[in-house]
Amino acid sequence: MKKELLPDWAKKYDRKGVVFRKKGDVFIMVEVHSHRVPGKKYPVVEQIYLGTVSPDGFSPAGSSASSSDTLMECGLSHFILANFHRELTRSIFNSGDKDMTEGKIRAAIVLYLYGAITDITIGLTAASIGYQDAIAKVATSRTIRSICKKIDDLIMKSFPDDERRISVTSMLRQCMADRRNPVFSGYPDDVKMLLGDYR
């Protein structure tokens, strides 16, 4: 959310590196850091759930809470599934049953997002919900890397301008869902502006 649109009672908690997300009548505060990982074309975003802000004040997260405890990625994976699912399905030849095909697509999304498919990375994205076992079964399949490459190609084709593509994918990576109720609730307005015709 654009910080100039925050109500005064939330602005006083603003600081560098903090992102606010509106949820009902409160704002979720998340601290965002990014760092480069060798072999990745984009920075990897790390998010730490700080707590919530309401007109009554700031409610900090429990001392042991972290992004992996409370939040999971849902933005970029949702974008990939909503816009490229058909093309990804077609790219899988003789894939067997429908669940196996879906497992491969979602495994490729995990690989695209995190660069590896592990128990931890499978649990970081909402794309894996209901497909954890299928993803684990196909994780070592050679086709996963080719599907991941297809995702990269489709995103590059959709956003040929490097700056826009990096901005879009970085902001989509920051769209998170509560792990206890991981429902995609839509893109923030600033992300919608960058996406243009895509949803």
Q: Give tens-digit pLDDT for 34-68.
A: 777 787 766 677 777 777 888 878 777 654 444 44
Q: Contact at 8 Å (CB) between 41 and 165?
A: no
Q: Where are the domains of the chain?
A: 1-65, 75-158
Phi first, then psi: what are they for 151, rounded to 5°?
A: -60, -50
Point out the least confidently predicted range of 9-13, 65-69, 140-144: 65-69
Radius of gyration of the chain (CA): 17
- Name the pTM for this structure: 0.66
- Residue 162's closest CA among 32, 37, 34, 42? 42
